[in-house]
């Protein structure tokens, strides 16, 4: 079998394109490449540049699997690329596990997701494996749950999560047997059910690169297993077993942002006692075009506008938003001072509330992990240091990991983990990944419990901050068409980092590529000022972005001092201040400090 090249080696090469077209199993992408090739051969420079990009090399398979624009060519997401990836995964599993290896396969509702999932099942079956397909259009946490539930050797989720509509992706998880074959028993136990990390990614990538052509890959026409909806019922029953339930009537607005989480999320909330649910109708049905949002990501400005409008209309007490594959969760609460009437909580605020909730219930013996030996809390290094402070207040251990749940979920003894990008794992024994549905149910239960006790989410944040200090965070991202600018910015930071952060001298500079506090090397820079302000800068692993994570800290004494100063100023002016949280008095100063650091970084990076 002649190898079909997956890249140009000496500039534009029409024969390489023709060979790829002949090997493409999808007429749609084959025809599109034929048109571009014809334009390139007629002298169209833009078409030549397009092909040079598409054939710059294969889409890189790494710890995030595959992710990219749906289009023709080796550097895009398409059936040819997916079949090669499935063949590489199958070869890796055949080597490490042997014939009869099991792979669970799920997909979201994006363009080509169902075809990519079916191609994967066909390849796995023909390679001597057992392919197990989930019902179509289910959330990513269902795939992670099914992998552990079945004790399978691998899982594949076809999704691009919250990426733009033009993208799709291929997420790979491994079970215990292949991990045992390539590592230690401890590594296998810690990583079973989680997304891949090194060396598994490199080993699978080697097998993918060894695939000569799509034509050389056998594909079965049938013979794989189809799971029925009982897997969803099993997952919902597991959420029931968490023991979190509505303790007061709570009006909730719910959106899935045109993704696949609506049905499962509504069912999970309803069966745990939440009956006042108001879905955002225009965003509940899966739609791969994501017509009402610029980016289908709850973090993006404007993503929750329709939720805010409905919440104002019905007087909702909580807004719950999932991203399109429902592995992320965001919350918003009423706020009379906000222009839209609601305040979206940051990922760090939700993470802090959930760690406090878990620690409190562990102490009370009402948490599902009560009785576990040495419970541990974890978050990614770019997330707030408030988690460690809260865990310590309850006498529990906390650890930092590299960014991504492939690392967080591997922490031994984990009972709760989160990352600031709206990812939370409240039940690592069942879903060793972020899960926006079980997290949403747990958060709603907390909100209802606080309401029943005459408190609120805002008051609970205030209570924790008065005890541990106020850790205020803010993101700063640069989306760049020219990705070379990301490497240039990182080099600039390494060679000549900023000397101050908001007027405080930078006391420590750590290049994370050399490792940091026991963490494996990663591309990033950490700056720490004398006032304990912290900045971490890193390239995004899934998008063309440079991401900056800002954090400033105030001690409990500073919070009280600011509240006392506000009270004295009000008394001197003869006015009566409305009842407010103590930490609210310090928020403007911390926000100003964050804004100052953001402005300094923008000027320094000049992006």
**Rounded (10°) CA dihedral 146, 151, 152, 155:** 40
CB 138 within 8 A of CB 102: no
C-beta separation of 108 from 158 below 8 A = yes
Distance CA 527, CA 548 (A): 11
Active site residue 230: no
Task: Identify which of 266, 274, 222 has the alpha carbon closest to the alpha carbon of residue 245.
Answer: 274
Q: State how far the Cα of 238 lies from the Cα of 247, in Å rounded to an integer.
A: 19
Report the C-alpha gap between 545 and 294 in whole angstroms.
16
Q: Are 311 and 319 in contact (CB under 8 A)?
A: yes
- Strand 329-334: give its sheet, edge to edge: 277-279, 252-255, 318-322, 329-334, 342-344
Provide the β-strand partners of residue 343: 333
Contact 536, 381 (CB under 8 A): yes
Rounded distance between C-alpha atoms, residue 86 and residue 25, angstroms = 14
Neighbours of 541 (CB within 10 A): 17
Closest CA to 326 of 289, 304, 368, 297: 297
CA distance 13 to 31: 18
Residues paired with residue 508 on neighbouring β-strands, in sequence order:
528
If DSSP states are collapsed to H, E and C, what string results for 189-210?
HHHCCCECCCCHHHHHHHHHHC
* Ramachandran sector of residue 540 (left: φ over 0; alpha: ψ -120 to 50; beta: rest): beta
**Residue 369 backbone phi and psi in degrees, to 5:** -100, 10
Beta-strand pair 376-380/414-419: parallel
Residue of 161, 213, 256, 307 marked active site: 161
List the one residue out of 174, 65, 61, 170 whose CA is nearest residue 120.
170
Any idea what DSSP says for residue 62? B
Q: Is 598 exposed, middle or buried (0-12, 13-18, 19+ CB in 10 A)?
A: middle
User: Are the C-beta atoms of 385 and 471 separated by less than 8 Å?
Assistant: yes
Residue 542 contacts by C-beta under 8 Å, 6 or more apart in sequence? 64, 67, 161, 163, 169
Give, as one character, the DSSP assignment of residue 513. Answer: G
Helix (H, G, I), strand (E, B) or coil at 314: helix
N-term to C-term CA, the chain? 48
Q: Which positions are catalytic? A: 161
């Amino acid at each position: 079998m002649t190898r079909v090249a997956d890249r140009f080696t000496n500039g534009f090469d029409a024969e390489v394109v023709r060979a790829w077209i002949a090997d493409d199993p999808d007429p749609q992408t084959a025809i599109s490449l034929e048109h571009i090739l014809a334009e390139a051969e007629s002298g169209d420079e833009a078409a030549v540049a397009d092909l040079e990009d598409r054939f710059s090399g294969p889409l890189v398979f790494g710890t995030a699997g595959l992710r990219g624009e749906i289009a023709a060519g080796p550097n895009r997401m398409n059936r040819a690329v997916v079949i090669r990836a499935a063949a590489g995964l199958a070869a890796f599993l055949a080597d490490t596990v042997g014939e009869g290896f099991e792979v669970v396969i799920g997909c979201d509702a994006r363009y080509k997701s169902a075809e990519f999932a079916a191609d994967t099942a066909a390849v796995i079956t023909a390679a001597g494996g057992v392919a197990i397909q989930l019902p179509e259009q289910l959330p990513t946490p269902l795939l992670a749950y099914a992998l552990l539930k079945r004790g399978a050797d691998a899982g594949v989720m076809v999704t691009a999560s919250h990426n733009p509509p033009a993208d799709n992706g291929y997420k790979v998880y491994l079970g215990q047997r292949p991990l045992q074959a390539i590592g230690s028993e401890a590594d296998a136990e810690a990583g079973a059910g989680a997304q891949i990390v090194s060396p598994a990614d490199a080993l699978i990538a080697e097998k993918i690169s060894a695939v000569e052509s799509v034509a050389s890959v056998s594909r079965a026409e049938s013979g794989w297993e189809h799971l029925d909806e009982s897997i969803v019922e099993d997952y919902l029953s597991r959420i029931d077993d968490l023991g979190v339930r509505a303790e007061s009537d709570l009006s909730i607005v719910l959106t899935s942002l045109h993704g696949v989480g609506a049905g499962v999320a509504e069912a999970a909330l309803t069966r745990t006692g939440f009956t006042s649910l108001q879905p955002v109708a225009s965003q509940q049905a899966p739609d791969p075009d994501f017509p009402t949002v610029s980016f289908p990501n709850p973090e993006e400005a404007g993503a929750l506008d329709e939720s805010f409008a409905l919440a104002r209309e019905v007087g909702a007490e909580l807004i719950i938003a999932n991203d399109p594959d429902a592995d992320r969760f965001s919350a918003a609460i009423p706020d009379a001072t906000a222009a839209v009437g609601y305040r979206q909580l940051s990922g760090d605020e939700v993470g802090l509330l959930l760690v406090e909730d878990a620690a409190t219930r562990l102490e009370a013996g009402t948490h599902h992990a009560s009785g576990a030996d040495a419970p541990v809390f974890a978050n990614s290094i770019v997330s707030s240091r408030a988690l460690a402070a809260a865990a310590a207040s309850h006498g529990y251990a906390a650890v930092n990991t590299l960014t991504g749940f492939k690392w967080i979920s591997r922490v031994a003894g984990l009972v709760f983990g989160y990352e600031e990008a709206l990812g939370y794992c409240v039940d690592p024994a069942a879903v060793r990944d972020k899960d926006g549905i079980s997290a949403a149910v747990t958060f709603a239960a907390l909100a209802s419990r606080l309401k029943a006790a005459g408190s609120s989410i805002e008051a609970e944040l205030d209570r924790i901050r008065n005890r541990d200090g106020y850790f205020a965070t803010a993101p700063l991202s640069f989306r760049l068409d020219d990705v070379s600018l990301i490497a240039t910015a990182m080099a600039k930071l390494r060679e000549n980092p900023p000397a101050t952060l908001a007027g405080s001298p930078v006391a420590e500079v750590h290049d994370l590529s050399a490792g940091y506090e026991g963490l494996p090397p990663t591309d990033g820079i950490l700056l720490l000022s004398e006032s304990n302000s912290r900045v971490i800068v890193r390239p995004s692993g899934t998008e063309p972005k440079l991401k900056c994570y800002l954090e400033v800290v105030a001690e409990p004494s500073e919070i009280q001092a600011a509240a006392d100063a506000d009270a004295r100023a009000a008394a001197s002016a003869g006015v009566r201040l409305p009842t407010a949280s103590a930490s609210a008095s310090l928020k403007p100063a911390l926000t100003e400090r964050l804004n100052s650091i953001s402005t300094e970084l923008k000027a320094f990076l000049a992006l």
